[in-house]
């Protein structure tokens, strides 16, 4: 077994109809550009009724058709926010919790210890989060139920150096399931990061399940100049 095996995102997504929501963080092969990607998927009408829209400091989710919105509590949030020269990426409103803690000089671990998985039993969808530092290193976290009843929260934190061409992929579910969707297990998965933002965006979008994919965000940030390029794809637009 090669514990250091690196796979492409196409390989990681191939044949998986429902990894749920996913975060990819890493560094381009030349070591000069940090990379962040976030995608959302959905099975219900309410979950699928979303798009990503730009904000001055990142992006937020928005109802594509407001008349179809049922419960906004877990699907409308600010998944990407800048914090100084860093970038927060999450699958829920814990983005704002992290931002508030960091803004007053506290740690992201402290922020996430105030949060838990989502209240959507029996799935108890994990809260996944990422934080890119100005030097390209990054942290990832998953908060998930410690038991089938959702009676307690298990919190996992990971910290990675910036390694050229390498990224990590963290997603909410192992795969689709019925009636319960299995929660992600193990460490974030090692993935290769392409040099070109459009190539990476296409690789992600084309390998997400056509029926269940909703929106995708990708940002490439030059570590020296801090200039960035980003792409946003929405199935409904």
Q: Which residues pair with 82 in a beta bridge?
A: 87
Helix or strand (DSSP H, E) at 39: strand 33-41
What one-character DSSP code corresponds to residue 34? Answer: E
State yes or no: pLDDT of 18 exceeds 90. Answer: yes
| CA neighbor of 140 nearest in space, from 173, 164, 109 | 109
pLDDT tier, 69 (very low <50, low <70, confident <90, very high otherwise)? confident
What one-character DSSP code corresponds to residue 100? Answer: H
Q: Which residues contact 147 (CB under 8 A, 6 or more apart)?
A: none
Distance CA 160, CA 167 (A): 9
The pLDDT, as a whole number, for residue 141 is: 98
Secondary structure of residue 80 in the 3-state scheme: strand
pLDDT > 90 fraction of the chain, expressed in percent and rounded: 92
pLDDT tier, 85 (very low <50, low <70, confident <90, very high otherwise)? very high
14: left (phi over 0), alpha (psi -120 to 50) or beta: beta
The pLDDT, as a whole number, for residue 8 is: 98
The pLDDT, as a whole number, for residue 27 is: 98
Using a CB cutoff of 8 Å and minimum separation of 24, what contacts does 92-99 make? 92/118, 92/127, 94/127, 94/129, 95/129, 98/129, 98/131
The mean per-residue pLDDT over the stretch 17-41 comes to 98
The pLDDT, as a whole number, for residue 75 is: 83
State yes or no: pLDDT of 237 exceeds 80. Answer: no
The answer to whether 126 and 172 are in contact (CB under 8 A) is: yes
Distance CA 202, CA 197 (A): 9
The mean per-residue pLDDT over the stretch 88-105 comes to 98
The pLDDT, as a whole number, for residue 11 is: 98
pLDDT tier, 44 (very low <50, low <70, confident <90, very high otherwise)? confident
Secondary structure of residue 104 in the 3-state scheme: coil
pLDDT tier, 72 (very low <50, low <70, confident <90, very high otherwise)? confident
User: Higher-confidence residue: 125 or 68?
Assistant: 125
The pLDDT, as a whole number, for residue 198 is: 98
């Amino acid at each position: 077994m090669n514990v250091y095996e690196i796979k492409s995102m196409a390989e990681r997504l191939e044949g998986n109809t429902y990894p749920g929501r996913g975060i990819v963080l890493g560094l381009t092969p030349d070591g000069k550009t940090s990379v962040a990607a976030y995608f959302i998927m959905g099975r219900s009408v309410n979950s699928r009724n979303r798009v990503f829209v730009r904000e001055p400091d990142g992006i937020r989710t928005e109802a594509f058709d407001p008349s179809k919105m049922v419960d906004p509590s877990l699907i409308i949030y600010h998944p990407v926010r800048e914090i100084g020269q860093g970038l927060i990426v999450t699958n829920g409103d814990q983005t704002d919790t992290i931002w508030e803690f960091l803004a007053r000089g506290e740690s992201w671990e402290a922020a996430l210890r105030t949060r838990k998985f989502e209240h959507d039993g029996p799935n108890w969808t994990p809260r996944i989060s990422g934080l890119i530092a100005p030097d390209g290193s990054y942290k990832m976290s998953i908060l998930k139920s410690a038991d089938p009843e959702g009676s307690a929260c298990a919190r996992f934190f990971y910290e990675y150096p910036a390694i050229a061409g390498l990224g990590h992929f963290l997603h909410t579910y192992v795969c689709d399931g019925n009636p319960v969707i299995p929660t992600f297990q193990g460490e974030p998965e090692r993935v290769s990061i392409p040099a070109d933002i459009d190539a990476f965006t296409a690789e992600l979008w084309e390998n997400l399940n056509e029926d269940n994919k909703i929106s995708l965000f990708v940002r490439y940030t030059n570590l020296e100049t801090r200039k960035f390029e980003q792409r946003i794809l929405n199935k409904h637009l």
